């Protein structure tokens, strides 16, 4: 078969003498053998299913990028002799040598894999990142594609729950909010779900900032509604919202009294992107609807 090199795990070392004897008996040319240290789990035993995901297909489905896996796996038991950890494919081809592979087994560090995947996600253009995240939003039934005549996705998608149209440009803005926080593409649905829901399911206690009473929260919402209603749709931008609402927040003893309830109203979450960014993407009508919904919970 004209195979020149056999590179495999060190658990095959015991097979090698037998195979060499067979090759010699058949007068075959003898390939060169190289045995690599095994990839180990955190407990230093051979990596297996009990340590979690082990197939390339599963890593892809979980939202790990091809360039991440190539870079990460290349550094298992191989070291370029420097502290460098990020390598493009051309760099790997140039730098890699089998002589630098270490003899000891390599621990598969999932935290490092996540860090590296986050790095490659941050390096992507928002257009390319959205292209890779949209399949997860479709899979989790948040949106569905509207196809053009040639069978390719168009510039608009449909929000499954509300049947509203949402533009590709708006989806890119939503995904862009979390580009810095994403470790895996699959996390995008959990982080952005509130953009694709009509009513958010959250406990009214979450609206409360520290010792605020119900009447305090209602007053904040009334003031927010009054301020936001005055803003023209064409002026509904993140910068304008920031200027107006921060000026209002400064009038209070603690700006958390206005910013915390507003963020919860818009996202239903304890932690999320900032309220001004979210409101700017949601638009004026939806922001006011969510304030009304929150007031009905108190």
The CA distance from 221 to 138, in Å, is: 34
Taking the CB of residue 287, how many other CB atoms lie within 10 A of it?
A: 24
Task: Write down the residue that tokens 């700006």 correspond to.
Answer: 255
pLDDT at residue 150 is higher than 70: no
Length of the chain as a residue count: 298
Structure tokens at 147: 């196809």
> Beta strands of 16-72 (E only): which ranges?
32-36, 39-40
Better pLDDT: 285 or 145: 285
**Mean pLDDT along residues 163-182:** 95
Which pLDDT score, from 0 to 100, does residue 48 have?
A: 75
pLDDT at residue 153 is higher than 70: no
pLDDT at residue 151 is higher than 60: no
CATH dotted code for 37-120: 1.10.1160.10
Which pLDDT score, from 0 to 100, does residue 43 have?
A: 82
pLDDT at residue 214 is higher than 60: yes
> Could you report the per-residue pLDDT of 161-170, keeping only the tens digit for each?
999 999 999 9
pLDDT bin (cut points 50, 70, 90) of residue 152 is: low
Structure tokens at 242: 């920031």
- End-to-end Cα distance, the chain: 76
183 φ, ψ to 5°? Answer: -105, -30
DSSP 85-136: ----HHHHHHH--GGGB-SS-EE--HHHHHHHHHHHHHHS-HHHHHHHHHHH
Taking the CB of residue 129, how many other CB atoms lie within 10 A of it?
A: 21
Which pLDDT score, from 0 to 100, does residue 154 have?
A: 67
What is the residue extent of each domain of the chain?
37-120, 124-196, 204-297
Decide: residue 266, CB within 10 A, 0-12 exposed, 13-18 middle, 19+ buried. buried
Better pLDDT: 282 or 44: 282
> Could you report the per-residue pLDDT of 116-136, keeping only the tens digit for each?
999 999 999 999 999 999 999
Q: Chain-wide mean pLDDT for the chain?
A: 91
Q: What is the CATH T-level fold of the domain 204-297, as seen in this structure?
A: Arc Repressor Mutant, subunit A (1.10.10)
Which pLDDT score, from 0 to 100, does residue 202 have?
A: 92
108 φ, ψ to 5°? Answer: -80, 105
């Amino acid at each position: 078969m004209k195979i020149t090199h056999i590179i495999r795990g060190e658990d095959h070392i015991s097979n090698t003498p037998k195979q060499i004897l067979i090759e010699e008996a058949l007068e075959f040319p003898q390939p060169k053998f190289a045995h690599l240290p095994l990839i180990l789990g955190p407990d230093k035993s051979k990596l297996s299913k009990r340590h979690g995901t082990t197939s390339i297909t599963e890593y892809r489905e979980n939202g790990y990028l091809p360039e991440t896996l190539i870079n990460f796996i290349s550094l298992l038991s191989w070291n370029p002799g420097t502290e460098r950890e990020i390598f493009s494919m051309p760099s790997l081809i140039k730098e890699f040598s089998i002589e630098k592979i270490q003899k000891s087994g390599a621990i598969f560090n999932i935290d490092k894999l996540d860090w590296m995947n986050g790095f490659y996600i941050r390096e992507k253009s928002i257009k390319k990142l959205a292209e890779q995240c949209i399949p997860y939003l479709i899979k989790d039934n948040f949106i569905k594609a509207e196809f053009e005549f040639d069978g390719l996705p168009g510039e608009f998608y449909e929000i499954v729950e509300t049947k509203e149209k949402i533009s590709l440009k708006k989806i890119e803005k939503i995904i862009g909010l979390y580009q810095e926080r994403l470790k895996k593409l699959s996390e995008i649905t959990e982080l952005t779900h509130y953009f694709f829901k009509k009513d958010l399911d959250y406990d009214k206690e979450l609206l409360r900032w520290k010792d605020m009473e119900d009447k305090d929260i209602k007053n904040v919402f009334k003031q927010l509604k009054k301020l936001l209603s005055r803003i023209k749709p064409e002026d509904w931008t993140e910068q304008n919202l920031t200027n107006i609402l921060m000026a209002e927040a400064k009038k209070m003893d603690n700006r958390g009294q206005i910013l915390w309830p507003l963020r919860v109203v818009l996202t239903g979450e304890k932690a999320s992107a900032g309220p001004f960014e979210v409101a700017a993407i949601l638009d004026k009508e939806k922001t006011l609807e969510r304030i009304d919904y929150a007031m009905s919970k108190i």
